[in-house]
Amino acid sequence: MELCFDVPNYSDVDIEFQRVINAGAKPVYKPTTESYGMRICYVADPEGNLIEICSGNDDIYHVE
């Protein structure tokens, strides 16, 4: 099984990656900005389920 969580911006990918690692998830693929513009990472939960955390929104484009 794979779950995917889309977070608001690039920095949130890094923040959530570290948060779930600290909570016991195993790192599978560290946060990386891919050539197609998405920032993604993968972790595995204690039961081995693959979890993707991603964002297509770079912080420089964030408008409030």
Model pLDDT, residue 58: 75
- Farthest CA pair distance, the chain: 39
12, 18 contact by CB (below 8 A) = no
Model pLDDT, residue 61: 52
CA distances from 19 to 27, 34, 35, 41 (A): 11, 21, 25, 13
pLDDT tens-digit map of 2-37: 899 999 999 999 999 999 999 999 999 999 999 988
Spell out the domain ranges in the chain: 2-58
For 18-37, b where at least 16 C-beta lie within 10 A, e where not — what string? eebeeeebeeeeebeeeeee
Query: May I ask the CATH class of domain 2-58?
Result: alpha beta
